Amino acid sequence: MKKLLVFTVFCLVLAGCVPAGTSQYLLLGRSAPISGITAPLDGTPTAVPTGTLPAAPTATMIPTAALAGQSVLPNFDHIVLIMLENRGFKSVFGADTTQMPLLNTLATDNVVLTNYFAVAHPSLPNYIALMSGSTQKITQDCTDCFVNQPNLADEIEASGRTWKAYLEGMPSACFVGNAGAYAQKHDPLLYFDSIRLNAARCDRSIVPLTTLNGDLANNQLPNFSLITPNLCDSGHDCSAATADQWINDMVTKLQASPALGENYLIIIAFDEAGSNDKSSCCGLPTAAGGQVAVVLISPSALPDMSDNTSYDHYSLLKTILTAWNLPLLGQTALPSTLAITSPWTGLPGK
């Protein structure tokens, strides 16, 4: 009887320690509604009462630290950021999903961020913000507005990790200027003096997209990859259907390669919405870059999830920095900039 009494008291103490909002449900892929997280794209949320939980893969369990309110992200082996061009969220995931059906399928099967905003118009300030936590006062698509500021590549390299930027149509490694369908404005790391002015480093890490096949075949995919298609395949100058097929082929290639492994994050993001959309969030200027589509693909993320937490390009950079425990850059240090943690914790972003 005494043992039973002790066990009962112990259980009651444990129950009292469960954070508010988590005592009734354990979130498994399709979750009970919580603030900042919506149902999956197919509209069929499922809440599983504790006590009747089915077996679930380890990757879908909520980490203990997440239940304590901490931001928890995997220490990814590979992060791949793929940038597309100039389409707002509603033009990609709105009523006419036939514009980009393949991307819509990827979104439905993985994670889509439904309240995500670019930081400015036109393209280049967004790319610079994604790499440094600031637009660095750049307001146009210039080719000679170089900056001497810390950036994501510097921090990745300082941590002992590797990185590369793969640019479709780039004539040669570390090429400065525009050439045909290759646009320098979509090659942000070239704008940083610490990279461009170090010839060996630049030639090694800012390369034509054609080198990606060899890196995959030789199991030499870097820890961080920035992949940008040319002006046509990005959807900048050509149709949504062209960009849709290109991005599907790229994701298929990456996932088919053993070089990617199983502990990865593929990010598909648009740099900015159409020029008429200047909507904003998250402490950005009132007139910002508009609402854009972002899809996250990771074996460790919750499946079939849409997250309506307010994010922007600085949130995406903060997510990468946080996952790898790197120092925060610029706007990523602000409390208003949330890292994207919900797809892994099942809780609102921190």
Residue 199 shares a structural domain with residue 332: yes
Whether 234 contacts 85, CB under 8 Å: yes
- How many domains are contained in the chain? 2
Residues in the chain: 350
Residue 251 shares a structural domain with residue 290: yes
According to the model, what pLDDT value does residue 126 have? 98
Residue 196 shares a structural domain with residue 221: yes
Whether 86 contacts 121, CB under 8 Å: no
Whether 294 contacts 317, CB under 8 Å: no
In a domain, 199, yes or no: yes
Residue 52 shares a structural domain with residue 100: no
Q: How far apart are CA 62 and CA 72, in angstroms?
A: 9
Residue 83 shares a structural domain with residue 55: no
Q: How far apart are CA 211 and CA 202, in angstroms?
A: 14
DSSP 179: B
According to the model, what pLDDT value does residue 59 have? 31
According to the model, what pLDDT value does residue 195 have? 98
Neighbours of 7 (CB within 10 A): 10
Helix (H) or strand (E) holding 147: none
CA distances from 338 to 305, 315, 322 (A): 18, 5, 11
∠ CA 322-326-327, nearest 5°, is 105
Q: Which CATH number is 129's domain given? A: 3.40.720.10
∠ CA 131-133-138, nearest 5°, is 80
Residue 101 shares a structural domain with residue 17: no
In a domain, 104, yes or no: yes
Residue 111 shares a structural domain with residue 35: no
Residue 300 shares a structural domain with residue 336: yes
| Residue 320 C-alpha from the chain's centroid | 8
Per-residue pLDDT of the chain (350 residues), as tens digits, is: 444 444 444 444 444 443 333 322 223 333 332 233 343 443 333 333 333 333 323 332 333 333 333 448 999 999 999 999 999 999 999 866 788 999 999 999 999 999 999 999 999 999 999 999 999 999 999 999 999 999 999 999 999 999 999 999 999 999 999 999 999 999 999 999 999 999 999 999 999 999 999 999 999 999 999 999 999 999 999 999 999 999 999 999 999 999 999 999 999 999 999 999 999 899 899 999 999 999 999 999 999 999 999 999 999 999 999 999 999 999 999 999 999 999 999 887 66
In a domain, 69, yes or no: no
According to the model, what pLDDT value does residue 349 have? 63
In a domain, 71, yes or no: no
- Paired with 208 in beta bridges are 167
Please give the structure tokens belonging to residue 170: 């780039």
In a domain, 68, yes or no: no
Enumerate residues 6+ apart whose C-beta is below 8 A from 189.
131, 151, 152, 153, 165, 195, 205, 206, 226
- What distance, in Å, lies between the first and last C-alpha atoms of the chain? 45
According to the model, what pLDDT value does residue 350 have? 63
In a domain, 198, yes or no: yes
∠ CA 93-349-134, nearest 5°, is 80
In three-state secondary structure terms, 350 is: coil
In a domain, 72, yes or no: no
In three-state secondary structure terms, 189 is: helix
What is the span of the domain harbouring residue 10? 2-61
Residue 54 shares a structural domain with residue 140: no
In a domain, 350, yes or no: no
Residue 194 shares a structural domain with residue 312: yes
Residue 28 shares a structural domain with residue 132: no
CA distances from 336 to 6, 187, 200, 292, 321 (A): 45, 27, 38, 19, 16
Residue 45 shares a structural domain with residue 139: no
According to the model, what pLDDT value does residue 66 have? 35
Q: How far apart are CA 147 and CA 132, in angstroms?
A: 10
